[in-house]
Amino acid sequence: MVIDKEVDDHEAPVPSIVFRLEPSSGVPTYLQLVHQVEHALRLGYLTHGDQLPRVKDVVASLSINPNTVLKAYRDLEQKGLTAGRPGQGTFIEASPETVGLERLTALRRSLVSGWLKDAAAAGLDEQGTVALFMAALRDFRDRPMQSRTAGRDGRRRGEGVA
């Protein structure tokens, strides 16, 4: 979750992300934090110069060990995404290329009003929906590049009808 940042000249900057944990996910806690930062970067919620929450604030809000947060922040730093500034905190240093916010919003709207709506109507719960989506994404990634450019009728672009 992202919160708006209004900074008074006399107050510390407000972090741009609020971490959430999913205990039943099977994903280690530190990786959940890393993934949330990476996703926020890809979606444009975090940008260069934004500050991550202080370790002690994450520890207090999630009731986790400080070493878990430090491990996540260290991992992000090793990936070149963040940098720690002694006495100041951890800040975003780089972000991956991303699609513009307008295009992301349109894609999200399309996903929600189309595929997700159909999945819910078919009776899939959240875990079933995620499993189906991830399987389809893996299948898409594993297909040869030529078949990714096929049209809806199965023919590759530029291929005529025989």
Q: Which two tokens stand for residue 28?
A: 């280690």
Average confidence (pLDDT) over 15-31: 91
Q: Report the amino acid identity of residue 77.
A: E
CA gap 30, 52 in Å, rounded: 14
Q: Mean pLDDT across the chain, nearest whole number?
A: 82
Contacts of 153 (CB under 8 A, 6+ apart): none
CA gap 150, 159 in Å, rounded: 9
pLDDT score recorded for residue 145: 63
> pLDDT-derived band of residue 14, with 50, 70 and 90 as boundaries?
low
Burial of 104 (0-12, 13-18, 19+ CB in 10 A): middle
pLDDT score recorded for residue 147: 55
Domain ranges of the chain: 23-92, 101-147
Instruction: Choose the CATH number for 23-92 among 1.10.10.10, 3.30.70.3280, 1.10.1370.40, 3.40.50.300.
Output: 1.10.10.10
For the entire predicted model, the pTM comes to 0.64
Q: Of 20-34, 56-70, 80-94, 143-157, where does mean pLDDT reach its minimum?
A: 143-157
pLDDT score recorded for residue 34: 97
Interstrand relation of 82-85 and 89-92 (parallel, antiparallel or unpaired): antiparallel
Give the highest mean pLDDT range of 2-11, 57-66, 120-129, 139-148.
57-66
